[in-house]
Structure formats: structure tokens, C-alpha cells
Structure 1
């Protein structure tokens, strides 16, 4: 059974690139450009891992992950932040995300990080 990666980013080029990489690695990939309904999204899509951009419209990635990690139905799903934000390491730790990937990212690092944390 294919593992599912859910990616939140408002940059369509990043979504296209990430999806192309992960589909090539035999993952099922779902992409969304907004995260204000993160719990509903997760319950419908049932991802094995979530990649979240910090700078995403409406509530933002930091708040979305905090909501997700605070919900008993979704808190167990590994989350990886990805952003060009200089404070990404500290933000990752403060919201209890599993890992982070700095943008721009190295494709090999991207792949290895997904592989390491996917359920």
C-alpha cells in the first residue's frame, strides 16, 4: 500500500516540484494551498506524513501544526516544516514538529527526511 504525503504550501511551483519528486518515489501525494481546515483535511486524506510551509495563507503553518498536534485524532502524524524562515529550527522545536527542511532544499535531503519520518 502506498504511503501518503500531504503537502501544504501556497506556492504552486513548490507543490509541483515536491509532488513530482515524491510520486517518482512511489508515494501518493495530496497537495493543499490553505491549512485553516487542517483537522478535516487530515481526517479525509489520512496522510502518513505532513509537510507544512510556515508562510501559508489564513492561519499559517505554525498555528495549523499546533492545532493538529493538540488533537488526539491527529497528533501522532509526523510533521515536517519547510520554509526559508531563519528561525525554522526554533519554531520546529516549539510546536513539536518532527523535523524541518530549509528552503531552498536539496532534493536528496528532502527525500531522506521524508523516508526517515514517514510512518
Structure 2
């Protein structure tokens, strides 16, 4: 059974590109916002989440904080996904499981997800 990756990013091109790259190896679900993120994650039940920092509504940092506080979502690995210069600092603060800097290489994206899931 394929593992599920949830990608939260408001950039439609990023969502399409990542879906194209990952859907051979994973079930890929996407969301262009993080409104009701806890409910969304409970519904989808992903094995890993790629979270953009600059996503509308509450933003990626706050979305990760909410997920890390809730029973049933706090153990899901989350990779912050951003061009933000402070991404490592923010990831440490919110207890994210990793970072992928934009722009990213296909190889790095696949390797990072695989290393966390395996």
C-alpha cells in the first residue's frame, strides 16, 4: 500500500509539479490553504506533510503548531517547504521534521520524503 503525502501550498504550479514527481511512489493529496488544517489532516490521514510557510489563512508556521498540539495529528512528520531565509530556525521552533528549500531539486525532494518515511 502506497503512503500518502499531503502538500499544503498556495502555488498551483508547485502543487502540480510535486504531484507529478511524487505520484508514482505515493498517493498525493494537495491543499492550496490551511484553513481547518486539523480537520483536513484527520480526513486525509497522510503519512507525511509538506507545508509551505507562506500559505494563506493562518500560514504554515501556525498550521504546524496546531497539528503538533492535537492528538491524532501530532506524530505525523511535517517538512517545511519554503524559500524563507529563516526556514531552519522556524522548523526548529515549531518542531518540524525537516526542511526543503525552494527552489528544490527533484532528487532532494524524493530523498528527503523517503528518508523520513522509511
TM-score above 0.5, yes or no:
yes
TM-score range, shorter chain: over 0.9
**Corresponding residue number in structure 2 for 1:13:** 13
> How many corresponding residue pairs?
118
Structure 2: tracts of 5 or more residues without a match: none
TM-score normalised to structure 1 length: 0.97
What SS does the corresponding residue of 1:86 show, helix, strand or coil?
coil
Question: Structure 1 residue 97 and structure 2 residue 96: aligned?
Answer: yes
What SS does the corresponding residue of 1:5 show, helix, strand or coil?
strand
Quick one: distance in 2 between partners of 1:118 and 1:50? Answer: 11
What SS does the corresponding residue of 2:6 show, helix, strand or coil?
strand
What SS does the corresponding residue of 2:79 show, helix, strand or coil?
strand
**Corresponding residue number in structure 1 for 2:54:** 55
Q: CA deviation at 1:36?
A: 1.8
Q: CA deviation at 1:113?
A: 0.4
What SS does the corresponding residue of 1:7 show, helix, strand or coil?
strand
TM-score normalised to structure 2 length: 0.97
